[in-house]
Amino acid sequence: MFAEISILEYWKSEHERETNEDACALDAGRGLFAVADGAGTTLFAREWALTLAELFVTYPLLSAHPFEVEWWLDLAWTRYASYLLPAEQLPPALRYKWLREGSQATLATLRVVESGPERVVAKALAVGDSCLLWRRAGSELVESFPLRSPAEFTKPPLCLPSRAALFRRSFHRLQEQELTLEADDCLMLATDALARWVLAGGDGSLTPGQCFELVAQQRLTSWQAFVEEERARRGLADDDCTALVLTCCRAASARACLLGATQSYQGDLVQQRQREFEEARRAGDRRRMAVLYGDGGAFQQPPGLTTNEEIAQARRVAEALDELLWQLRPLLNRADAAWQAARLWESYAPLLAAEPCAASLRRTLSALGVRGVEAGDEAGQAPPIRGERTE
């Protein structure tokens, strides 16, 4: 299947191209498309949105499994850190805000998994209020994912954080959906202001189908004038407006390119991941094992003598450690920190008392005065996973 692709980007009135906090990226030959929207209330939101969108078309995230998402975000955190000054070099006020909030962004992605002459099968992953919208050939109905009505945009969106310490596996959940597209079907990935405007029918004077068609007809050369006019006429919010528009077609043309497909991770990335998994396994670092194993898709053949129970135990340890850290942090500055920490430790000690990945945590608890905690020896413990959260 071929597709005509339009990249539409315009920014809010007080921004310019260099400060646009939306980002988009694509690799049509591999069937990979992404848009991200950096939260303007956080620092370096543009850089984080660009990191997420560009990483997806380099190393696409293949599932919404919580551990797979964390593994992929670990790649994003490492890449993002290379773009920024170390936190200690930031001015004090910025450093405090950065450590407390980091950067935040929503994300919507599309990955073609099958591209044939008559149809395209694709998988969408999304978090927050960046959306995929599509309309079937000959239909006026506009479907959307993950948000489905204008009212849903009134809630603060769930965002992916740029700091590992702010990520919570049980909370930062991506949604996924499979789509089948045929010739003349049209799909767009859009950030929130534009997605909401389409689904609301502009100011209510148009239908969602009419708004969708208006956007689908635009080209980069007409996009700025269109956005400014719709802001004035039909209530399009003065926000960054980004869309990737794909119209499926059977034949090549001056504007249509062949859509490729991506079904698995690249071989070098799989090999690296498997090597790191074996290193973590030899070191007894179950948390690192759980994250590197992810959903298991990169391990078609069980690594070494790995069993389902071994992976299940690694995940239990990882979940226990992260949940304890999450609950412990707000307590550290309280007068009764030792008593509160001791109560928490009683619940998690059976899983974490001898785990190398919890050695740093145990030292913190011991320093707080929690009794019965074996702090352990740093020597020989596994190196921390990139971006690992610490106390």
Identify the structural domains of the chain with CATH numbers, from first to last.
2-258 (3.60.40.10), 286-368 (no CATH)
What pLDDT is attached to residue 36?
Answer: 98
Count Cβ atoms within 10 A of the Cβ of residue 8 and give its class: 0-12 exposed, 13-18 middle, 19 or more buried.
Answer: buried
Q: Evaluate if residue 267 carries a pLDDT over 90.
A: no
Q: How confident is the model at residue 218 (pLDDT cuts 50, 70, 90)?
A: very high
Question: What pLDDT is attached to residue 384?
Answer: 39
Q: d(Cα 190, Cα 144) in Å, to the nearest integer?
A: 10
Element (H, E) at 9: strand 2-10
Span 131-143, average pLDDT:
97
Give yes or no for a contact between 295 and 65, defined as CB atoms under 8 angstroms apart. yes
**pLDDT at residue 304 in the model:** 60
Q: Give the C-alpha separation, 23 to 96, whole Å.
A: 26
How far, in Å, CA of 66 to CA of 64, rounded?
6
Phi, psi of 37 (to 5 degrees): -130, 110
Closest residue by Cα to residue 269 from 71, 105, 123: 71
For 298-348, the DSSP string reads: T-SS--TT--HHHHHHHHHHHHHHHHHHHHHGGGTTSTTHHHHHHHHHHHH
Query: What is the spatial distance between Cα 70 and Cα 167, in angstroms, rounded to a whole number?
Result: 8
Please give the average per-residue pLDDT across 252-277, as a whole number: 92
List the structure tokens of 308: 């389902």
234-238, 292-296, 363-367, 372-376: the lowest-pLDDT one: 372-376
- Per-residue pLDDT of 75-95, as tens digits, reads 999 999 888 877 778 888 888
DSSP state of 155: S
Phi/psi of residue 315, each to 5°? -70, -40
Contact predicate 292/277, CB 8 Å:
yes
Q: What is the DSSP string of 202-271?
A: TTTTS-HHHHHHHHHT--HHHHHHHHHHHHHHS---SS-EEEEEEEEESS--SSEEE-----S--HHHHH
Q: Is 291 helix (H, G, I), strand (E, B) or coil?
A: helix
Residues 6 or more apart whose CB falls under 8 angstroms from that of 372 comprise: 349
pLDDT, residue 117, reads: 93
pLDDT of residue 380: 36
Average pLDDT over residues 191-217: 97
35 vs 102: which has the higher pLDDT: 35
319 Cβ contact list (under 8 Å, min separation 6): 169, 170
pLDDT tens-digit readout, 156-184: 999 999 999 999 999 999 999 999 999 99
> Cα separation of 284 and 271, whole Å?
20
Q: Torsion angle, CA of 378/382/386/391, rounded to 10 degrees?
A: -40
pLDDT, one tens digit per residue, over 287-326 is 999 999 999 998 876 556 568 899 999 999 999 999 999 9
Q: Which helix (H) or strand (E) holds 354?
A: none
Structure tokens at 40: 């303007």
Cβ-based neighbour number of residue 83 at 10 Å? 11
How high is the pLDDT of residue 171? Answer: 95
Q: What is 100-150 written as a DSSP string?
A: HH--EEEEEEEEEEEE-SSEEEEEEEEETT-EEEEE-TT---EEEES--SG
What whole-number percentage of the chain has pLDDT above 90? 79
Name the pLDDT band for 212 (thresholds 50, 70, 90).
very high
Q: How confident is the model at residue 376 (pLDDT cuts 50, 70, 90)?
A: low
Write the CB contacts of 166 (distance below 8 Å, at least 6 apart in sequence). 101, 102
The Cβ of residue 214 has, within 10 Å, a number of other Cβ atoms equal to 16
Asked whether residue 382 carries a pLDDT value surpassing 70, the answer given is: no
Mean pLDDT of 325-346: 90
Spell out the residues 6+ positions from residue 242 whose beta carbon is closer than 8 angstroms to its own: 8, 9, 10, 20, 22, 23, 24, 35, 37, 190, 191, 194
Using a pLDDT cut of 70, give the percent of the chain over it: 94
Q: Tell me: pLDDT of 253 over 80.
A: yes
CA gap 65, 82 in Å, rounded = 26
Amino acid at 320: A
Q: For residue 98, what pLDDT is reported? A: 81
Instruction: With cut-offs at 50, 70 and 90, classify the pLDDT of residue 138.
Output: very high
One-letter amino acid at 366 equals: S
Higher pLDDT, 154 or 375: 154
Residues 6+ apart with CB under 8 A from 147: 129, 131, 153, 195, 199
Q: How far apart are CA 78 and CA 82, in angstroms?
A: 7
pLDDT tens digits for 57-66? Answer: 999 999 999 9
